[in-house]
């Protein structure tokens, strides 16, 4: 008595096996939904701020929000257009960007170098770390009188404050990243005959890079906070000055414009930092080239 159990891999009466879905096709089928989900999340990240702007504009036009308290986005946009036409906005923005970049370059370089030295040397930690932590604990506003005495009202005082703010997050994250490198990787390096310099270049610094780049992202945000404080020191150029001057004349539309500029620059700076992460950490399993983490 013959069995009539059918085999799903046999086609018709001829019993010819059908070809199952190939891994390549399955991979393509899986890739589509993943890309769609990523696109939806990206759209959602911009949809929320856009919804807030639309609601803000609608409530302002309906009279629920007083213009002197919170001007409508359209009013802020008109103010921005007028300042673009007369060139004043780019002048103030240029001064602020120059101060932020100079301070970031100086403070970031010192923080990275000091973090590497302290991360590798217990002696350097004993010499430098406690002093760095004591200075880090001092509020920025408490430093302003001393900075004015040291530097006067020149550009060097503003760059000094930004440099000081940037130094600490990069320093702390560099030390942390070096100390968190897996000792087993160092043992493997020794077994394979890597010298101390090669271990630093091929194992320690790549292993510390995620933490260092986290410090860079945080330092980018802190640099603008320090710049706002720095631009209150007797200056007539910069986004911080623009906000302080607008406060004196109750120009809330200009104040809101400066806040939106700070937000836009912060988003742009963070996007650049994430691009740097994708470039330098392409080998890391938790970072892909599309930036998914």
Within 10 Å of residue 90's Cβ, how many Cβ atoms? Answer: 12
Q: How far apart are CA 113 and CA 170, in angstroms?
A: 10
In-domain check, residue 254: yes
Distance CA 179, CA 32 (A): 40
Q: Of how many residues is the chain composed?
A: 293
**What pLDDT is attached to residue 27?**
47
Q: pLDDT value at position 164?
A: 92
pLDDT in tens, 171-188: 999 999 888 887 777 777
Dist CA 53 CA 71 (whole Å): 11
| Run of H or E including 16 | strand 16-17
Reduce the DSSP state of residue 194 to 3 states and report it.
coil
- What's the chain's Rg over C-alpha atoms? 28
Residue, of 242 and 33, whose pLDDT is higher: 242
CATH of the domain at 230: 1.10.3720.10
**Is 84 among the domain residues?**
no
Give residue 35's pLDDT. Answer: 53
Distance CA 126, CA 163 (A): 23
Cα pseudo-dihedral 235, 239, 245, 251, rounded to 10: 170
Look at residue 170 in the predicted model and tell me its pLDDT. 94
More confident residue, 153 or 127: 127
The per-residue pLDDT for 163 is 93
Lowest mean pLDDT among 138-152, 163-177, 209-223, 273-287: 273-287
**Element containing residue 10 per DSSP (H, E):** strand 10-11
> What predicted TM-score, i.e. pTM, was given to this entire model?
0.74
Residue 130 lies in a domain: yes
Per-residue model confidence (pLDDT) at position 286: 64
Residue-wise pLDDT tens digits, 85-102: 988 889 999 999 999 999
Q: Phi-psi region for residue 254, left (φ > 0), alpha (ψ -120 to 50) or beta?
A: alpha
CA 257 vs CA 65, 249, 263: distances in Å: 17, 15, 10
* pLDDT 10s digits, 98-125: 999 999 999 999 999 999 999 888 898 8
Host domain of residue 219: 89-280
Query: Within 10 Å of residue 118's Cβ, how many Cβ atoms?
Result: 23
In a domain, 15, yes or no: no
The answer to whether position 23 is within a domain reads no
Q: Would residue 43 count as lying in a domain?
A: no
Distance CA 253, CA 71 (A): 6
Q: Which of 265, 131, 232, 116 is nearest to 181 (CA)?
A: 116
Q: How many Å apart are CA 92 and CA 79, to the nearest integer? A: 14
Is residue 8, in this structure, part of any structural domain at all? no
Q: pLDDT tens digits for 46-62?
A: 788 888 888 888 988 88
Is residue 104, in this structure, part of any structural domain at all? yes
How many Å apart are CA 212 and CA 100, to the nearest integer?
Answer: 19
* 234 three-class SS: coil
- Report how many domains make up the chain: 1
86: number of Cβ within 10 Å: 9
Rounded to whole angstroms, what are the CA distances from 80 to 73, 178, 184?
Answer: 10, 45, 56
Torsion of CA 200, 201, 207, 211, to 10 degrees: 90
Per-residue confidence (pLDDT) for residue 275, from 0 to 100: 83
Q: Which of 47, 54, 48 is CA-nearest to residue 74?
A: 54
User: Under a CB-based contact definition with an 8 Å cutoff, are residues 211 and 158 in contact?
Assistant: no
Q: Provide the 10 A C-beta neighbour count for residue 262.
A: 18
User: Of 23 and 265, which is predicted with more confidence?
Assistant: 265
């Amino acid at each position: 008595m013959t069995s009539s159990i059918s085999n799903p891999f046999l086609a018709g009466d001829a019993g010819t096996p059908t070809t199952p879905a190939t891994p390549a096709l399955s991979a393509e089928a899986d890739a589509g939904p993943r890309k769609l989900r990523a696109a939806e999340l990206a759209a959602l990240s911009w949809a929320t701020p856009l919804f807030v702007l639309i609601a803000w504009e609608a409530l302002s036009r309906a009279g629920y929000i007083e213009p002197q308290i919170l001007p409508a986005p359209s009013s802020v946009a008109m103010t921005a257009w007028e300042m673009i036409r007369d060139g004043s906005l780019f002048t103030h923005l240029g001064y602020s960007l120059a101060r932020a970049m100079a301070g970031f370059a100086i403070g970031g370089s010192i923080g990275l170098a000091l973090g590497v030295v302290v991360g590798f040397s217990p002696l350097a930690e004993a010499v430098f770390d406690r002093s760095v932590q004591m200075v880090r604990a001092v509020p920025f506003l408490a430093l302003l009188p001393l900075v004015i005495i040291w530097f006067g009202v020149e550009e060097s005082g503003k760059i000094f404050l930004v440099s000081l703010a940037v130094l600490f997050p990069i320093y702390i994250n560099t030390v942390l990243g070096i100390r968190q490198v897996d000792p087993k990787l160092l043992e493997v390096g020794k077994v394979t005959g890597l010298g101390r310099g090669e271990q630093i270049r091929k194992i320690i610094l790549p292993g510390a890079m995620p933490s260092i780049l986290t410090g860079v992202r945080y330092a980018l945000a802190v640099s603008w906070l320090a710049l706002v404080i720095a631009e209150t020191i007797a200056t007539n150029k910069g986004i911080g000055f623009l906000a302080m001057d607008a406060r004196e004349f109750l120009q809330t539309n200009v104040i809101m414009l400066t806040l939106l500029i700070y937000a836009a620059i912060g988003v742009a700076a963070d996007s650049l930092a994430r691009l740097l992460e994708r470039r330098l950490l392409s080998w890391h399993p938790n970072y892909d080239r599309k930036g998914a983490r």
